[in-house]
Structure 1
Amino acid sequence: MEHKTSFFKALYKMKPLTQTPSNRALRLLVLSFGFSILETLVLIFKGPPGTDVFAHYYYLDVLSHHGIVLWNNFWYEGTYLFANYSITPYLIGQILGLKITEFLVTLVTLSVGFLFSLPNGDSQDQRYFFVTFLVIWPFSVESGDLAYLSGVAFAAVSLFAYYSKKRVLYLITTALSITSSPLATGFLAIAVFSIEIHRTFSCKKEGNRALANVFASATAVLTRSYYIVVLEVQVVVVFILELAFASSNFYPFFASDAAIIIVFSLLSIVLSLKGLQDDSKSKHPFIHPLAVGFALYLAISVVLMVIPTPVGANMNKLSEISLPVSLYIATKVMKKVRLRDNAYTNRTVRPYLVGSIALLVLSAYWTYSEVSGPLLDAGQAYRQSQPSYWSPAISFLRAHLKPGFRVEVVDTPTHAEAYFLPAAQIPIVRGWFRQADFPNNELLYRSNLSDKKYLSWLHNTSAAYVVLTKGPYDFSAVKEATLLASKESALKEVYRSQDITIYRVPYPLPIVSPNTKVVRVGLETIVTKVYSTKTLMVSINFSPFLVPSSGCLTKSQSGLTLWHNPKVGVDSLHFSFTWRRFLGAIGYSLGVTSNLSCRG
């Protein structure tokens, strides 16, 4: 039985909301939606802190005290801040607070999922999809990734606007999505492109539905579809920003991530061809949106496995909706083969039965592995999230750390150190974004970490002290923690409390050397006394926007900064954005201008 939803239609004026499911299905969807809201509230306000949450606390802290700044000397030997990363969620978070913002963007995503479910609730396989999505998505808040969650929320509204043909709303929400999370917008682009390809083929005459026309149709979609063109324009803008604020950072695919993405995508494509081909009006199953979408996702992932980029293994974010999608595909496949072959024991059915089970098991494991970390270490995560946990270390470092040196904190699962120490004006070697660890801190991920290599790395990063907690540790820090606790370590223990041990690095090298004395390190500025006009090594990642008070800067082979011909006396380096330097930075990334940055 179908009921016209004039209320929703009048409120939203959107075409997908033209009917609701039967009363029984509607009750299940409403209960699932209500339960998902309750889940979200509990996880955000009573659950352990998410994996990335303290990085976002730090960004909000910087925004609160300094406004929109583009450079940060307190993380990763100098890194861009707000320049080539999300800005929209932090502007919202500055007004509402991080937890309220996190709740609202999750609520938006859940609400869009619920509204999409209304006209599809009587279909058993689609009902499974939406109910599973509503129950599982709240656990995505345990990632603590405010930027991605915000991007997904705006992308979800964009998808709703796309189906409803609301062009202005689509334009606005895609812009908000890409300024929140380009990755989320990338997933939106895959979805919209796949649907557009499907619609293009469905509109063609029977004789033109040939595989050879895939590329012609794709070209037509890329050049004629308003919705795709909007995304293309925004991608071009983001690409220009990436050129201007380029870095050498990349997020590698670990073997487990690559294997899961490849196997999951291939299984999804094969099973989609078997179970979903009758959903398409075309005789060619390869143009079903899910089959096209997974093919695109796999192709992009493989390219990113070969070409290092900051996106890299972030492609595994799809895991957060992999189980609902897998359940939908498996249900459709098994329904079809059961009707066609009348028995699950038939030999033609067994491969699809095994494939469906494998897809469900793999997606369940993938989802669990991505969201379970904070929940498994909830007690320790809560302790590490308290200021009192870090205050003894901060007090010691404020008393003993000289200007011009950094502190290495052995990484914790909460990454809380990335907020508490920099917020106290203590520069740290790392921070928290996995892609920013590569290539400078790649040593920590290797199995052959030795005391000699570790000490050399500490000297190269200008670390004067190392802070070690009782644990647990991030997987990248287990070898480091083991080495510090062993007798092989050359570092001397200088402080111990109930939770934290601090070691001193022998003969540390300052951020600016040699023949200098660093006076002050600020967010965008370094002030130092120079005693010689010789070329200086600056342990700061090179940027075309860094300007010396005298002399010139160039990029070293390691990606750090060389300071040529500084004047004797008090000198400084500061980050300075001008449109002239912006254009020069684009030219430098394209290889048409030099890497020379001089005063003025």
Structure 2
Amino acid sequence: MTSLAPPASTHPLAREALVASGLAAAVAAALAWLGPPGSDVAAHVYQAALYQKHGFELWNNFWYEGRYSFVTYSLLYYPAAALLGIRLLAVASIATAALAFTVVAAREWGPASRWSNRSFAVVWAGVVLSGAFPFALGAALALLALWSLQSRARVRFALLTALCFAASPVAFILLVVLLAAVALARAPKRDDLVLPAVTVSAIGVVELVLWRVFPGGGRFPFSIEELAAACAFCLLGMALTWRVPAARVLRWIYVVYLPVLIAAFLVPSSLGENIARLRFAAVPLAILTLSLRRWRPFPLAAVAFVLALSWNVAPLAASYAKGASDPAADARYWTPAVAFLQTNLDPSYRVEVVDTAGHWAAAYLPAAGIPITRGWFRQEDFPRNSVLYDDELGPRSYVGWLRRMAVRYVVLPDAPLDYSAKGEARLLAGGRSGLRPVFRSAHITVYAVPSPRELVTGPGAAHVLRFDHTRLTFSVGRRGRYRIATSWSPYWRVSRGCIERGSDGMTVLDAPRAGTVTMRFMLGAAPALATLAGRPVRSCAT
């Protein structure tokens, strides 16, 4: 990308960029401190606190059946959030993005980008309502990387691109889309392509290695309706930029983004619908597209703008409505249930919480030392917890799932529920689940699972003695093969016997004799290399 603005416009550009940044900061701060918490804030509250207390522990037993932390989501965001605070970091990320967007757009399109820049400052601040703060940080770094590329500051570009990836792999993918569009639109010289290509390729290799070494196996849903809306945005953008010379880069953005969307829909992965997050900038992109063609013909331009506005604002408005009506965001809402569970829950079991719209149980219960079968990451639900998404969820399949997950108690709140929890709530409230209520408070009912199955089961009696984020200590009554209802990782180390992956993705122990066994999560070069090569790992005590 090259600057189209003459040197004399430097001061007006700086003034425009500062105005946009200040406007974005003001709107974002108002939403962060005066508005309801965003949809994803519960996860950030818990994981930032987890980082502050334990540092970079890369495994967490208290969400789902155990999962990798930080390394598969964001390496940069949680240390930064622990340092600055979640709200301040969100406002700083959004203000920085508005500053960089204004500079990049004004250098590329000049005065035609003015209203696009100002609209970006307003609508991008709405990301606060979604709570997608790692993505907001990654997007700010991506825009700074584009600014550096415009300025031919190649080393700075490479550094910012790497930081973008460390903050948010989704933001990095969208940055790659933009870089590909610029390359196709500009056909730059080979020398200008080398560093961006090498940087992106190197980071892509790192991502592939991390994906292999820390396998998750989950997938994020991507509905056909969301795909249709995103594709319509691209197709409309392509049509409106056709034969508009000044919009050549924009046209290629729409062209490149379209197959990326389709690929994310067709290939199940943890990316899924997250690829559609360019929608948070749909309004400024639409305004820029229409400004470059001087809003002609106006009826078509007006329809296109309304459609972009709807696609941009609809999820933010939904997030605002959910957050404003969610009493579960208050820690006091969960206090009675936490007190009951801390008194009655044996360490051999987990707790299932019927998920609320804001997922606040994923913050407050694990923080109180209570392991739960679900968490915040939607992609972790598939395929293991997909039974909860079944419209025909029945008592037999539900209780069977609870037993497989070693659940002793189920918590049913009266707060607005996540869409995946409504069938589960109907089953419990209707009395058809076979679970009996054992505790009630003003807002919460706790049910006991009949004949629950413990975390460790096998040929002899087994009992968990200690259960924390990265360690599990238990006793076994005799030699034999035991199922441990904790997700398998090649980095588990055992004090006695041998462990390996079970057929259901859980951990299996071959115990040579009765006694106490400790399982610890410990990184190691040998299991990492074996996992990278696709070889099965069996870990034995030394």
Normalised by the shorter chain, which TM-score bucket?
over 0.9
Cα shift at 1:157: 0.8
Cα shift at 1:552: 2.2
1:18 aligns with 2:3: no
TM-score, structure 2 normalization: 0.93
Mark the CA change 1:64 to 1:250 in structure 2 (over 3 Å): closer, same or farther: same
Q: What residue is the counterpart of 2:240 in the other structure?
A: 271
The CA distance in 2 between the partners of 1:120 and 1:239, in whole Å, is 33
Mark the CA change 1:574 to 1:548 in structure 2 (over 3 Å): closer, same or farther: same
Percent of aligned positions with the same letter in both sequences? 29
The CA distance in 1 between the partners of 2:117 and 2:441, in whole Å, is 49
SS at match of 1:123: helix
Determine if contact 1:17/1:116 at 8 Å carries over to the other structure: no
Structure 1 outlier segments of 4+, above 6 Å: 14-17, 25-30
Letter in 2 for 1:296: V
- The structure having more radius of gyration, on CA atoms, is 1
1:236 aligns with 2:196: no
The CA distance in 1 between the partners of 2:198 and 2:111, in whole Å, is 33
CA-to-partner distance for each residue in 1:292-317, whole Å, 9 max, x for gaps? 22222221222222221111111121
Determine if contact 1:76/1:436 at 8 Å carries over to the other structure: yes
SS at match of 1:83: coil
Give 5+ residue unaligned stretches, structure 1. Answer: 1-13, 204-219, 281-287, 339-343, 345-352
Cα shift at 1:119: 5.0
Q: What residue is the counterpart of 1:523 in the other structure?
A: 469
Q: What residue is the counterpart of 1:225 in the other structure?
A: 194
The CA distance in 1 between the partners of 2:344 and 2:255, in whole Å, is 55
Q: Residues 112-511 of structure 1 correspond to what in structure 2 (within 5 A)? A: 112-116=100-104, 123-124=111-112, 126-200=113-187, 224-274=193-243, 276=244, 278-279=245-246, 288-333=248-293, 335=295, 338=297, 353-354=299-300, 356-381=301-326, 383-511=327-455
The match for 1:578 among 488, 506, 524 is 524
CA-to-partner distance for each residue in 1:109-160, whole Å, 9 max, x for gaps? 1221233455578634x22321211110101011112211111111111111
Determine if contact 2:39/2:323 at 8 Å carries over to the other structure: no
Cα shift at 1:364: 2.2
Mark the CA change 1:379 to 1:197 in structure 2 (over 3 Å): closer, same or farther: closer
Cα shift at 1:26: 9.6
Q: What residue is the counterpart of 1:11 in the other structure?
A: none
Cα shift at 1:77: 0.4
Mark the CA change 1:159 to 1:224 in structure 2 (over 3 Å): closer, same or farther: closer
1:37 aligns with 2:6: no
Letter in 2 for 1:575: F
Determine if contact 2:496/2:512 at 8 Å carries over to the other structure: yes
CA-to-partner distance for each residue in 1:371-413, whole Å, 9 max, x for gaps? 12332134433x3222211111110000011002111111112
CA-to-partner distance for each residue in 1:250-302, whole Å, 9 max, x for gaps? 1121222222222222222233225x3x227xxxxxxx322322222221222
Cα shift at 1:524: 0.6
The CA distance in 1 between the partners of 2:504 and 2:253, in whole Å, is 39
Q: What residue is the counterpart of 1:83 in the other structure?
A: 71
CA-to-partner distance for each residue in 1:60-110, whole Å, 9 max, x for gaps? 111111111111100110100122221212111222222211121112112
CA-to-partner distance for each residue in 1:512-565, whole Å, 9 max, x for gaps? 113311111110111111112221111111111112222222222322222223
Q: What residue is the counterpart of 2:539 in the other structure?
A: 597
SS at match of 1:165: coil
Determine if contact 1:516/1:531 at 8 Å carries over to the other structure: yes
When the two structures are aligned, how many residues end up with a matched partner? 538
1:548 aligns with 2:536: no
RMSD of the TM alignment (CA)? 2.5
Determine if contact 1:20/1:119 at 8 Å carries over to the other structure: no
The CA distance in 2 between the partners of 1:270 and 1:114, in whole Å, is 25
CA-to-partner distance for each residue in 1:411-466, whole Å, 9 max, x for gaps? 11221111111111100000101111111111222211122221111111111111
The CA distance in 1 between the partners of 2:5 and 2:472, in whole Å, is 56
The CA distance in 1 between the partners of 2:7 and 2:541, in whole Å, is 63
Determine if contact 1:403/1:518 at 8 Å carries over to the other structure: yes
The CA distance in 2 between the partners of 1:456 and 1:363, in whole Å, is 45
SS at match of 2:343: helix
The CA distance in 2 between the partners of 1:15 and 1:362, in whole Å, is 30
Letter in 2 for 1:289: V
The CA distance in 2 between the partners of 1:119 and 1:175, in whole Å, is 24
The CA distance in 2 between the partners of 1:302 and 1:374, in whole Å, is 25
1:106 aligns with 2:97: no
Q: What residue is the counterpart of 1:59 in the other structure?
A: 47
Mark the CA change 1:477 to 1:334 in structure 2 (over 3 Å): closer, same or farther: farther
Mark the CA change 1:161 to 1:28 in structure 2 (over 3 Å): closer, same or farther: closer
TM-score, structure 1 normalization: 0.84
Mark the CA change 1:392 to 1:269 in structure 2 (over 3 Å): closer, same or farther: same
Cα shift at 1:19: 4.3
The CA distance in 1 between the partners of 2:52 and 2:5, in whole Å, is 41
The CA distance in 1 between the partners of 2:226 and 2:267, in whole Å, is 16
Mark the CA change 1:30 to 1:96 in structure 2 (over 3 Å): closer, same or farther: closer
Letter in 2 for 1:299: P
Letter in 1 for 2:252: V
Q: What residue is the counterpart of 1:9 in the other structure?
A: none
The CA distance in 2 between the partners of 1:594 and 1:113, in whole Å, is 46
Which sits farther off after the overlay, 99-108 or 257-266? Answer: 257-266
Cα shift at 1:189: 1.1
The CA distance in 2 between the partners of 1:553 and 1:377, in whole Å, is 43
